[in-house]
Structure 1
């Protein structure tokens, strides 16, 4: 079917439209069936009139009749040239025929219509429509070509004028470029001289190799000093340095990298570390590979030693903390025993109770310290975090009520987690008590759980004065505390428990309070 050609058939009776469709059925055009004048007008407002070859209009229709509809159609400029054929079975008088021609039709057919006659008329209008479209297209094409030709002539005239001006500018440009090329050549020579000096005297290991066959063109003094190889490498493609990436795989020679940590073996079979960077450069119109390596062997040794010393320092701090915390109860017990020895007094029960309490205190400190161990055995089971919190809720609320503070729980539904019930209870209780102790009377503590990004989040917020910035990096360190009578082990234990559950702790703090986020991963089924 050819695109774009349409026949509008307008009749209020559906059977007449079926008859017209049957008579005019063709692959050369579309028949659009409409049942009222109003539908015709709406269609012409909605669709383009350029593809309508003819309108077959019934005269007698309810609402707008055929004559009134055609008058309205002809008022639109875009529809004035559409051929219209009136079809009627009633109005056969000459007055109606003349009225049809007067309102703008070009033919008037009476029903019953001869099928072949109607088909021939419609085919003629379709051919005429195509002919007009072709003429219209060719006319528009000719106008376009004329405009293009006129614009081309104008451009040629302007181009001729510009060409003359450009010839003058070109002569001036050639003179300026010649001078610039001379200057550029001098700068290039200086640049090459600078590069050569920098290459030779650089403390970095530097080598230049052809990219085509990886033969060495040049190596600098630092390369020779660190590797032990000399000029014997020049002109050869042997990979004298057995470079390994940090992950252990061989480094590709043409791989462009920036500060890649590598290991290389020297002529004396010593393994050293370096940061490798490579770049493709042009030397005398030939692609070459520039390899630059910074030897970091000594730096890594220093870093290892510094890390070892830092660990020893931490151990010393922890040992001092343990000694300080345990010395207090030991001093109390020693004082009582010394008193009884010197006075020959009989040991009274109340003093025995005090000494037992001091011993228990020392034992608790040791127990808490041992609970920091990462290799401590845990007994995880599938548990609902909310149920653990609910069992602690009365205890936390009672602790808050004694100090005139308030606790609010917002627990959303969440899946089961692999948890050690006893350890999680200790973590929640420690963090809630820390939050309560950080607030003045009347403060609010909020405990919340929710699911986010395949994690169950435990959020504990207080309205205290916040944590000083210089203390943030020390959070979780054993024996670090800002309390007057604290051991500094409570929060450290919380961090240790969280680490054993692979649950990272995030802290947000300001002057209006502190919030801890503990994120537990949801087990995959």
Structure 2
């Protein structure tokens, strides 16, 4: 049968061709291949396998795999023979026993059984990929992630934290376990939330990176930190890689620079006001007083009183300007804050009565602190007046002192309607006022006095009122006293 003979020759030719193709693939592949019998003796290895151990392919046949490379992987090999099922491992560490200076290497490998016609394992095909560089790169990346002083995080597209580094934990005070139960928006300040959502949505839809985005996150202790963000999205993995820096101190410095610029402008204005306005005002007031005493002017007494009163008010405002702009020497002396308040008590009570409110003073047991009594009197008067003006009639203003955490604390509590958040963050800035007849200097003067005493000022405000806490440090009083 010529036709059958021709078909048979063609089939054999294809088999030879296929066999040659497999041989070429086996020998020239960059992947490492080895064929072993069921007892793990090498039958054949390709060039890549031999080169990985600086050997030639002819050095392997007849030798046992575990004589050359002893390891606990022998148990896995035996399991493959027994179960007749392939086995895969990823990034398995291995040290060459005859070449330990190479260090730990990492391998992805597969061991597949080749079954004979009787259903038994005849041969084993062993394929390996050296993933040492990839593993080390991943380890280096993880090391960078862990040791970075910047706050690094990975989030999904909904803002949920998937991974954060120790710097992130340190800045916010939460553990990584706590943070991965939250999302970015849980922590974002209410005023910044809309901008933050928009920034992330824009990065996702446009594939543009996030650059120099600023917002505030809530720490575990309920304080807020200003952060500056950079980041980019990976649409395939649906994640956001973000890096943040804590810029809270920078923000404070910017606010301080702005405050100093305001004071500098104020100083320039005050010099002009003092010379060009105050002196003429004094002359006008003097002539008004002369006219006031004349018989023919008696019928205009109310007008004269009003004019003199307004001149005195204008002069008082100029005095406030001068108080802010002058860099006067602070005369610190060991003083008891309670004694300063006691001297002012009648005057404070009169202020409260005039505004139809009640003043309550509670003195705590406190040590002496370094104070400039004249400035502290002004501080207390300003805070009390501010508190009285914040309340309607029949309000109660509480002035108290106490000792807490190494500090003498002056607290002034009103029962007004509180301070709005947008005003609160700017409070203490010169010319900032919510009063129709206010100058915006009272609290600026308070902040200036507090700063001159190296004290701190904290504000607790809400719908039921506002409390100003002035804290004077006592721990370093002796050291500070010796410098004055």
Q: Same fold (TM over 0.5)?
A: no
When Rg is computed on C-alpha atoms for both structures, the one with the higher figure is 1
